[in-house]
Structure 1
Amino acid sequence: MRGQELELLTPARLVVTETHGRVCVEPQGDWVIDTVGAVEDELRALASRADPSAIVYSFTQLGRIDTAGAYLLGRLTQDCADPDGDFHYLDHHPVAPGLIAEVRRRTLSCAPVKAQTYGFRAAVARLGAGIEAAYLEGLGTLGFLGHTLTTAASTALRPWRFRLTPTVWVMEEAGVNAMPIIAVLSFFIGAVIAFMGANLLQTLGMTVFTVDLVAVTVLREFGVLITAIMLAGRSDSAFTASIGSMKMQQEIDAMKVLGIDPFEAIVLPRVIACTLMAPLLTFGGMVAGIAGGMVVAWSTDLQISPTMFITRMHENTDWSHFMVGMSKAPVFGLVIAIIGCRQGMEVGGDVESLGRRTTASVVQSIFAVIVIDAIFAMMYLELGI
C-alpha cells in the first residue's frame, strides 16, 4: 500500500520568477514529506538571496501539502516583519496559507546559545540572578501558604468538605511509617553526643554532666531537627513526586474540570497530616536520642546506670527544654508540607521538571528548617527560655 501511495504522488517542483521587485514562488505538484526533499536545497538558496518581505506565493499549481511542505515554504518569510500577511499570497488556497501559519506558530525557535562570560561582572550578574530567583521563590511559597490557609478556613466553615480518609492515609505514610528511621537516627545522634561529651567532660572531672548535655541538646535541638530533616528528605519529596505525577498526567486539570478544588483535595490533607504528625515524630525522636545517650553512659567508663541517668535528668533538666523542642515541630511540619506541595504543583509536563522540582523541594525544605530553627533560637534567647 505504501508503494502505491508513492506512485500516486506528483513530484514537488519549484518555479521562481522575479518581476517588479517581487519574488514569486510557485510550488507545483505534491508538497508532502515524501517529495519535498528534492527541492529543499533550492529553497535554502532562495532564502539566502531573496528579501523575505518581497516573497509572494502562487498556489495555482499546488497539489497536496502537509506540515513538511508548509514548514519549508514558511521558512522563506519567517524573517519578515509580517510573515503571514495577505500580501504574501497572490491567490486563494483553502489549506496552504493557514497550514503555513500554524506550523510557524508551533515551531520552536531557539535563541542562539550565548557564550559564557567570566570575570567580576559575570559573577555579580549570576549573584543577582540567584538573589532574584530566591526572592521570587519566597514570594511564591508565601502566596501558596496564603492560598492553603484560606482553603483551610473555608473548609473549617464547611466541615463536611474535609477529606478525612486522605488525611489519615497521609498521616500513616508520612508519620507512622517514618518513625523507625527517625528513631534509629535519633538514637545514634544521642549516642554520638554522649561519646563526645564524655570525652571532653572526663578531662575536667565532670563526667556526670554528660546527662545534662544529652538531655538539653536532644530535647531542645537535635530531636526536632533530625525529625524535620527526615521529613524533608522522605515525606516532602514524596509529596512533590506524587503531586507532580498527577500534574504530568493532567489529573489536576481533570479535577478542576469536575469542579474539585485541588487545594482542598490534595494539598490540605497533606499539610494537616504533616503538621499533626511532626510533634509525635519529634517526641519519638527525643525518646530515642535520650535512650542512645543513656546506653553510651551506661556501657562506657562513665558507669552511669539508667536509673541514675533518668533521676539526674529529671532533677536537673527543666521542662522548658522539652517545650521549646516541641513548639518548633508543628511549624517545621507546616513549612515542609507547604514547600513539598507547592513544588509538586509547579511541575511541568516532562520528567526533567519533576526531578528538578523534587530536588528543589528537599533543598528548600532543609534550608527553611535550619533558618527557622535559628530564628527560634534567637527568639528564645531573647526571651530567656
Structure 2
Amino acid sequence: MLKSAQIIEETGDDGAVVRLSGSVAVACLGDLPDRLDRIAGPVAAIDLTDIDHVDTIGAWTIYRTARRLGCAITGASDDARRLIDEVGKFEEPVPIRPESATPIRRVVGQIGEATITAGATMIGLIGFFGATLVASWQLVRNPRRLRWNAIIQRFEVVGVSALGIIGLMSFLIGIVIAQQGSVQLKQFGMEVLTINLVGRLTFRELGVLMTAIMVAGRSGSAFAAQLGTMKLTEEIDAMRTIGVSPMEALVLPRTIAVVLMMPLLGFYASIISIIGGGFLCAVLLEIPPVTFIQRLREVVPITDLWVGLIKAPVFGLIIAIAGCFQGMQVKANAEEVGARTTAAVVQAIFLVIVLDAFFAVFFTWIGWN
C-alpha cells in the first residue's frame, strides 16, 4: 500500500532543504500542493531520495514548486527524473498561430525545399537504376531466373491494351499538324510542304514523344500504384522473406516489357499519325494518297525513322524506372500511393522531354538533320 506524501523541512550547509517521502501520486497527494505553496523561504533543493512512487500529477507538482522557489531537484530516481523533465517541456508556451514569414522568405524557402527534394529524388533514381543494372546482370548470368510469363503479361498491358488510345491520339495529332501547317503555308502558296511537315515531324519527334507521354501516364502510373500497394500490404517484404528478389520478380519484367514495346508503339503511332495527316491532305488540300506517299518517300530520310527508333527504348527505360522507383518508395499510408503515382508520371514526362532535347542536339551535331 502506498504511503501518503510527507514534507520535512531541514536546514543544511547550503540552505534549507525540503525532503519529500512516501508516494507523490494523485491518490496520495492530499493537501501536499497547498503545503508546498506555503513554503516561501529560500530553499536550496527539493530532495526526492525517500520518494516511493511518483506519477504525472506528482511530477508536475514537484516541478512547479522547484520552478517557483528557484531551487534544484535532487535524489530523484531515473524514472522520476525522466518524468519531471517530460512534464517540464510542456511549460514552454506553444504559439497558437505560426509566425508569418515575408513573401520573399516564403518563396525562397519553398524553392530550397523543392531543390532538396529534387536532388534527393535524383540520387535515389540513379541508385535504383544501378540496382536494376545489377539485377539485370544477375539474370544475364543465370537466364533461367528470367520470368517470361510476367514479361509477356506486361507486353499485353503495356502494348496491346494501349493500341486503341495511342492510335486515336496519333491520328488526331496527324490531323492537327496537317491542318495547322497547311493554314500557315497557304499564305505562301506552299501547301504541298504540309507533307514535309507531317512526315518529318511525326517520324522524328512527335510520334515517339507523344507515345512516351501516353505510356508514362498509363503504364508508369500503373507501375507506381501496383508496387506501392504491394509495399503497403507488405507483400514485397514477404517476397524478401522467402528469398525472392523484388527487383527480379517485379521491376525487371516491367522494365523489359516497356523497353521492348516502346519502339513498336512509337512506329505504330508514327504510321497512324501519317495516315491522319494524309487523310486531311486528301480532304482539304485535294492531294491524292498516291501523291502523298510518293512525296513522303522523297522528303523523309531514313535517318528520321532511326532517330525515333533509337529514342524509343531509352524513353521506355526512363518511364519504367521512374514508375517502379516511386512505387517502391511508398510508406506509411494509402495517401502515399496517390502521391507517388503522381510523382512517377511527372518525373517520367519531365525526364523524357529533357532527354528528347538532348537527343535533338546530339543528332543535329552528328549530321542526322
Superposition TM-score tier, normalisation by shorter sequence? 0.7 to 0.9
Query: Match for residue 312 of structure 1?
Result: 295
CA distance in 2, matches of 1:311, 1:159: 46
Deviation at residue 123 of structure 1 after TM alignment: 2.4
State whether residues 219 and 322 of structure 1, in contact with CA within 8 Å, keep that contact through their aligned partners in structure 2: yes
Query: Match for residue 177 of structure 1?
Result: 161
**Identical counterparts, % of pairs:** 38
CA distance in 2, matches of 1:18, 1:129: 57
Letter in 2 for 1:381: T
State whether residues 215 and 317 of structure 1, in contact with CA within 8 Å, keep that contact through their aligned partners in structure 2: yes
Deviation at residue 132 of structure 1 after TM alignment: 2.0
Q: Unaligned 5+ residue runs, structure 2?
A: 10-16, 38-45, 64-75, 88-93
- With 350-359 and 190-199 compared, the bigger mean Cα shift is at 350-359
CA distance in 1, matches of 2:226, 2:216: 15
State whether residues 152 and 268 of structure 1, in contact with CA within 8 Å, keep that contact through their aligned partners in structure 2: yes
Letter in 1 for 2:180: M
Matches for 1:116-195 after TM superposition, within 5 Å: 116-195=100-179
Relative to structure 1, the CA distance from residue 154 to residue 201 in structure 2 (aligned partners, 3 Å threshold; closer, same or farther) is: same
Matches for 1:35-46 after TM superposition, within 5 Å: none
Q: Which of structures 1 and 2 has the bigger CA Rg?
A: 2
Relative to structure 1, the CA distance from residue 54 to residue 116 in structure 2 (aligned partners, 3 Å threshold; closer, same or farther) is: farther
CA distance in 2, matches of 1:88, 1:16: 20
State whether residues 13 and 28 of structure 1, in contact with CA within 8 Å, keep that contact through their aligned partners in structure 2: no
- With 129-138 and 224-233 compared, the bigger mean Cα shift is at 129-138
Query: Match for residue 70 of structure 2?
Result: none
Query: Match for residue 205 of structure 2?
Result: 221
Query: Match for residue 82 of structure 1?
Result: none
Deviation at residue 59 of structure 1 after TM alignment: 5.8
Matches for 1:49-60 after TM superposition, within 5 Å: none
Deviation at residue 349 of structure 1 after TM alignment: 2.2
State whether residues 171 and 273 of structure 1, in contact with CA within 8 Å, keep that contact through their aligned partners in structure 2: yes
Query: Match for residue 339 of structure 1?
Result: 322
Query: Match for residue 245 of structure 2?
Result: 261
CA distance in 1, matches of 2:6, 2:289: 97
State whether residues 7 and 18 of structure 2, in contact with CA within 8 Å, keep that contact through their aligned partners in structure 1: no
CA distance in 2, matches of 1:75, 1:278: 67
Query: Match for residue 290 of structure 1?
Result: 274
CA distance in 2, matches of 1:147, 1:127: 30
Query: Match for residue 371 of structure 1?
Result: 354
CA distance in 2, matches of 1:240, 1:191: 33
TM-score (norm: length of structure 1): 0.76
Query: Match for residue 202 of structure 1?
Result: 186
Deviation at residue 54 of structure 1 after TM alignment: 7.5
Relative to structure 1, the CA distance from residue 161 to residue 202 in structure 2 (aligned partners, 3 Å threshold; closer, same or farther) is: same
What SS class does the counterpart of residue 244 from structure 2 fall into? coil
Aligned length: 327
Deviation at residue 122 of structure 1 after TM alignment: 3.5
User: Match for 2:24 among 15, 22, 26?
Assistant: 26
CA distance in 2, matches of 1:76, 1:341: 55
CA distance in 2, matches of 1:240, 1:263: 14
Letter in 1 for 2:361: M
Deviation at residue 114 of structure 1 after TM alignment: 4.4
Query: Match for residue 382 of structure 1?
Result: 365
CA distance in 1, matches of 2:196, 2:274: 10
CA distance in 1, matches of 2:314, 2:176: 27
| CA RMSD, Structure 1 to Structure 2 (Å) | 3.5
Letter in 2 for 1:124: V
Query: Match for residue 325 of structure 1?
Result: 308
- With 179-188 and 123-132 compared, the bigger mean Cα shift is at 123-132
Relative to structure 1, the CA distance from residue 329 to residue 71 in structure 2 (aligned partners, 3 Å threshold; closer, same or farther) is: farther
What SS class does the counterpart of residue 126 from structure 1 fall into? helix
Relative to structure 1, the CA distance from residue 150 to residue 293 in structure 2 (aligned partners, 3 Å threshold; closer, same or farther) is: same
Relative to structure 1, the CA distance from residue 87 to residue 132 in structure 2 (aligned partners, 3 Å threshold; closer, same or farther) is: closer
Query: Match for residue 94 of structure 1?
Result: none
CA distance in 1, matches of 2:306, 2:214: 21
Relative to structure 1, the CA distance from residue 15 to residue 124 in structure 2 (aligned partners, 3 Å threshold; closer, same or farther) is: same
Letter in 1 for 2:254: R
State whether residues 327 and 340 of structure 2, in contact with CA within 8 Å, keep that contact through their aligned partners in structure 1: yes
CA distance in 2, matches of 1:284, 1:54: 85
CA distance in 1, matches of 2:278, 2:171: 10
Q: Unaligned 5+ residue runs, structure 1?
A: 1-11, 30-38, 47-52, 63-69, 79-84, 91-96, 105-110
